[in-house]
Amino acid sequence: MIIESLFSLQGRVALITGAAGGIGRVLSEGMADAGAAVALADVRADETMALAASIRREGRQAEAFQVDVVRRESIRSLVDGVLGRFERIDILVNCAGINKREPLLDVTEDTFDRILAVNLRGVFQLSQAVAEPMIRQGGGKIIHIGSLTGEMALAGVSAYGVSKAGVSQLAMSMAIEWARHNIQVNCIVPGFMRTELTTALWADEAKAAWMRGRIAAERPGEPAELLGTAILLASPASSYITGQTWCVDGGVTAGGRHW
């Protein structure tokens, strides 16, 4: 019973951005199953409403919200809407993100600015907005979704890698400043996952072989394999864990074989 209560999200409200995406959907459904009331936020309104309806059919609490994390007024409207519906926000999962794969010399100023605006500035601004009610209520949990490209450089994703490295740094900065308010902030780095966005990569035999060769587990990860870490970091079990980057990557960042 003690273990169950440590990892339970019963009575808590979780706000998840990028909820309509592959990883966001899994985290939304999983946190709802763990007992949280979930506020699902995404720029794709129809898909987000469909997900909320699906979760409600399972007897869980879920509401859909549309947000553009680049626009501060949209963020403010989202936070106000969630507080108006649920009265509190206990957990924030920053999962919204975009990418464009192209050589560094082809990256335009507009592309660079757009990727950093969504992936980094959006995380910064939404965390700021949510920290205010968390401080008033006595604490909370913030989880950023990072990337392997923030931990190691890969060709063709320069702007994306910069944005995700910044997300890991933000987790540390926020953890230090907000610890006195009982807010824990951490970052989860997914490894080479099998999602809607990576279907083409895994379908390319040469690229798939390269990725498998870098993974100690020798297989792609599934979004559901991120859920255990996310529940840990969202639950009372992580009350003394903050400012950390958690690589859920099948062993990629641990190193590699030399034979």
Residue 179 has a pLDDT of 98
- 257 in any annotated domain: no
More confidently predicted of 70 and 257: 70
Residue 212 has a pLDDT of 93
Position 174 confidence tier, pLDDT thresholds 50, 70, 90: very high
Residue 2 has a pLDDT of 74
- 186 in any annotated domain: yes
Active site residue 240: no
Residue 1 has a pLDDT of 55
- 144 in any annotated domain: yes
Q: What is the CATH number of the domain that holds 199?
A: 3.40.50.720
Q: How many folded domains does the chain comprise?
A: 1
Residue 177 has a pLDDT of 98
Residue 122 has a pLDDT of 98
pTM score: 0.96
Q: Is the pLDDT of residue 259 over 80?
A: no
What is the domain range of residue 10?
Answer: 2-248
Position 195 confidence tier, pLDDT thresholds 50, 70, 90: confident
- 52 in any annotated domain: yes
Q: How far apart are CA 254 and CA 81, in angstroms?
A: 42
Mean pLDDT of all residues in 187-202: 90
What pLDDT digit, counting tens, does each position of 50-82 carry?
Answer: 999 999 999 999 999 999 999 999 999 999 999
Please give the share of the chain, as a percent, with pLDDT higher than 90: 90
Mean pLDDT of all residues in 173-202: 94
- 155 in any annotated domain: yes
Question: First and final CA of the chain: distance in angstroms?
Answer: 47
- 258 in any annotated domain: no
Mean pLDDT of all residues in 173-201: 94
Residue 111 has a pLDDT of 96
- 65 in any annotated domain: yes
Which is the catalytic residue, given 62, 91, 93, 160?
A: 160
Residue 197 has a pLDDT of 77
Q: What is the DSSP string of the chain?
A: -HHHHHH--TT-EEEEETTTSHHHHHHHHHHHHTT-EEEEEES-HHHHHHHHHHHHHTT--EEEEE--TT-HHHHHHHHHHHHHHHS---EEEE---------GGG--HHHHHHHHIIIIIHHHHHHHHHHHHHHHHT-EEEEEE--GGGTS--TT-HHHHHHHHHHHHHHHHHHHHHGGGTEEEEEEEE-SB--GGGHHHHHSHHHHHHHHHH-TTSS-B-GGGGHHHHHHHHSGGGTT--S-EEEESTTGGG-----
- 241 in any annotated domain: yes
What pLDDT digit, counting tens, does each position of 84-142 carry?
Answer: 999 999 999 999 999 999 999 999 999 999 999 999 999 999 999 999 999 999 999 99
